[in-house]
Amino acid sequence: MRFRLQPLAALLLGLTVSAAQAGATNEVAYASLGGAAVTFSELTDGAAIDGLLSSGGMQFGERFAGQELAVTKAPRPGAVAQDWFDDLSIGAPSVGLTLLAGAAGANLGAYNYGDADGLALFGVGPQAGAADGFGAISARFASPVSALGLQLRDADGGAITLSLYRTDGSLIQAVDLSGRSDGRYAFARTGGAADIAGFSLTNRDSYYGVSLDNLVLAAAPVPEPGSALLALGGLLTLAVGRRRAR
């Protein structure tokens, strides 16, 4: 029995270590977060939002102080013309994670999809006449959390990045959402650390741009995929140690 337990325990421990080293966050079920979602229902269809937006106890803008706003020119799938998209890859948020609004007419907007989810928030890009959904959206939370969930609208399989930040401006992880279709997604900190203070959402080459809806935050740790394996692996290792001592 001892020799059967040892390989199994080693395998389980290896799996849990691999899961822990996979990244700073784990993708979890959106429904596991619970809580009330920020739906932007107070906005009106077609609203142009100049300045910071407060909704659901959070603030929304274009970028954080320290991030340099640049633009990326990329073709949209199925479109002949190229469009300009907000690019926040230059610079990094400064300590305090201070939220900034974009220029007037190039900050945020709202669109009503006419379905059960209704209104969504989008960033306004730099190109007049083809800007809705091509801009960056950044959000600052009232207090740090361990997990967040969001709904992507008009994702269209484009290149999308969700960058998660701590209060001191350091990057936790740039989550690659490229190729995702419209849907609800959620991410929890590995180990349950409650240090996600805000995020930036940028996209490139998505045909209709990207909108954000149904944002949910979780202050308490969310069960991670490897939690059960970790516990079982620990118990089996303990059992092996006890048998060796006999």
| Closest alpha carbon to 218 in 147, 143, 150, 141 | 147
Q: Tell me: pLDDT of 3 over 50.
A: no
Q: Looking at residue 165, what is its pLDDT?
A: 98
145, HSE (Cβ side, Cα atoms, 13 Å) = 23
Q: Looking at residue 80, what is its pLDDT?
A: 53
pLDDT digits (tens, 9 = 90+) for 144-168: 999 999 999 998 878 899 999 999 9
Q: Tell me: pLDDT of 185 over 70.
A: yes
| Closest alpha carbon to 193 in 170, 160, 161, 159 | 170
Place of tokens 């805000």: 198
Please name every residue paired with 174 in a beta bridge, in sequence order, or none if there are none: 163
Domain range 34-221, CATH architecture: Sandwich (2.60)
Query: Token pair of 126, please?
Result: 């730099």
Query: Token pair of 97, please?
Result: 């994670």
pLDDT digits (tens, 9 = 90+) for 60-74: 999 999 999 988 876
C-alpha span between 176 and 159 (Å, rounded): 8
